[in-house]
Structure 1
Amino acid sequence: MLPAGGPKFKRRKAERPDEIVAAAFEIFSEKGFAAARLDDIAARAGVSKGAIYLYFATKEDIFRAVVEMGVAPNLGLIQDNIAAHQDSFPDLVRGAVGVLGQMLATTPIGGIVKMVIGESRNFPELARAWHDTLIRPALGAMTLAITAAQARGELRPGDPRQYALSLISPMLVGVIWRETFEPVGAEPFDIPALARQHAELWLRGMLVQPEPQP
């Protein structure tokens, strides 16, 4: 007969990398990369500091795991939806921007964005991992969608990559505002509402034929 708690221990051990990554996500968001200590991550995850080294050799490895396991799956869903979208381009934009705005508003990702921007000069691996795993694929997917819409005659001519960046930029500014200025008393922005409003403004400027009014 197995001792009580035996299967629980095995299940717990298997879950430890996920728990460490989730804890690191929070600690990096709260303290930044340089100030985050492995002791803090271990305490938040409920494991010993030595247990972290069973799964991750360095703090940079933990950050890469945060990007790949904690953020990339959410952005991957947006990319998949963009690639598979069969409806109108305005619906694609509204859906993608809505999901991204909600994710930025409800997860600790904003603190990670601020960390990458603030510390990438001293830790260039942070920016490299963020760009290669997240930014390049997401920007690339939207760039391809804009290129296809231009080829169909739906959108105005112009550099599709620059158009893609202009679509997502206000949300990033909203996150930076929240993480930098709201803690010192600045009036907050509703990031999902900001995303929706900008999507409508962007579409009005980009569509060759205005949408029919309801």
Structure 2
Amino acid sequence: MSMKKAHIESNDSDRLFSSEKVDAILAGAMQEFLTNGYAATTMDRVTAAAGVSKTTVYSYFQDKEGLFAALIEKLAQEKCFLVHNGEFLQGEPRIVLRRLATNILDQIEQEPEFLSLIRLIIGESGRFPLLAKTFVYNIDKQALQRLSQYFTEHSELKLPDPEVAARIFMGTVVHFIIIQYMLHSQDILPMERDRLIDNLINLITINLSQTTSTNQYSGTRQKSPRRRRTTSGKFQMDYSSEPKQLRSIRLTDTAWEQLAELAEKNNLTRSEMIEIFAREGFSSNRTHS
């Protein structure tokens, strides 16, 4: 083996060993922070929990504050990976948003350690506001920025303020986590998670259901049940922007007027008259009481 190759393999081994040491230190720090709280945790305790020397700990982290920040950054990479993964945000908005909300709640339910850390940060935020800011910067801010960007890119949602929409979405999920999992209020304010997710998604995507729909048989836009009239009483066209070939297959204004008159004469709505025509056919002598 050449000296150069041996040197490269030695560096790779050192990097692997260093990574394992860092992981051990962070795991020990997590254990101590959750067990004793931030204030009572010392670097000596972390050293003992990690099973490494104090020199090793200080060679990677200068102080407890830096160690805690590194722990939050590591969690951000693990927990927010899916938000930053382009493939995770691919698909129809309703599917993507359901995937996102479900993933967040699954993490909370399946990883109680993460929930305990959030509880610790909130509890210590009064005395150590920098801890809370570190968490918000690395996790909340990153998630909100990515979600706001997603809403901005999907103009079909017609959200007036994507940044506010991102806060509404994430805020609803976070409030659910606080009430259900942190404040133990499932029996006081019961709410099924699927019900919450369904209605949250409906709220964010409501404009999708209000956009122009397509008739599966004719390929034309469904006409509004109530059409405006001009001052002379004639119906106004609501399809001026459509291609001519689509416009030509619509009922004419005259036909709509006649249908309205016939419906009024028989004390029916236009929809009811259309249903009768479709079911029984048209007869000029037909009367309806």
Please say whether Structure 1 and Structure 2 have the same fold, judged by a TM-score greater than 0.5: yes
Cα deviation 1:137-195 (Å, max 9, x = unaligned) = 1101111112223x22x34x33322221222224323443466444xxx6589xxx62x
- Equivalent residue of 1:53, what SS? helix
Q: Counterparts of 1:41-52 in structure 2 under 5 Å?
A: 41-52=46-57
Question: In 2, Cα distance between the equivalents of 1:42 and 1:148?
Answer: 47
Shift of 1:54: 2.2
2:97 corresponds to 1:93: yes
Corresponding residue of 2:196 = 198
The reply on whether 1:208 has 2:207 as its aligned counterpart is: yes
Contact 2:98–2:201, Cα closer than 8 Å, also in 1: no
Q: Distance in 2 between matches of 1:28 and 1:208?
A: 45
**Structure 1: 5+ residue stretches without partners:** 1-8
Sequence identity (%) = 22
Instruction: For residue 33 of structure 1, give the secondary structure of its aligned residue in structure 2.
Output: helix
- After TM superposition, the score normalised by the length of structure 2 is 0.57
SS for the counterpart of 2:127 is: coil
1:168 corresponds in structure 2 to 170
Larger RCO of the pair (alpha carbons < 8 Å, separation 6+) = 1
Q: Report if aligned partners of 1:110, 1:176 keep a CA contact under 8 Å in 2.
A: no
Q: Considering only CA atoms, is the larger Rg found in Structure 1 or Structure 2? A: 2
Provide structure 2 residue ranges, at least 5 long, that are not aligned to the other structure: 1-12, 214-289
Task: List structure 1 runs of 4+ shifted beyond 4 angstroms.
Answer: 9-14, 177-180, 186-189
More helix by share: 1
State the TM-score, normalizing by the size of structure 1: 0.74
Aligned Cα RMSD in Å?
Answer: 3.0
Alpha-carbon spacing, 1:188–1:77, altered in 2? closer, same or farther (3 Å): farther
Per-residue deviation, 1:62: 0.7
Deviation track 1:74-107 (CA, whole Å, cap 9, x = no partner) reads 203322247x633101111011112222222223
Hey, what's the Cα distance between the residues in 2 that align with 1:36 and 1:188?
35
How far, CA to CA, are the matches of 2:34 and 2:173 in structure 1?
Answer: 18
Q: Which residue in 2 is equivalent to 1:4?
A: none
The number of aligned residues is 193
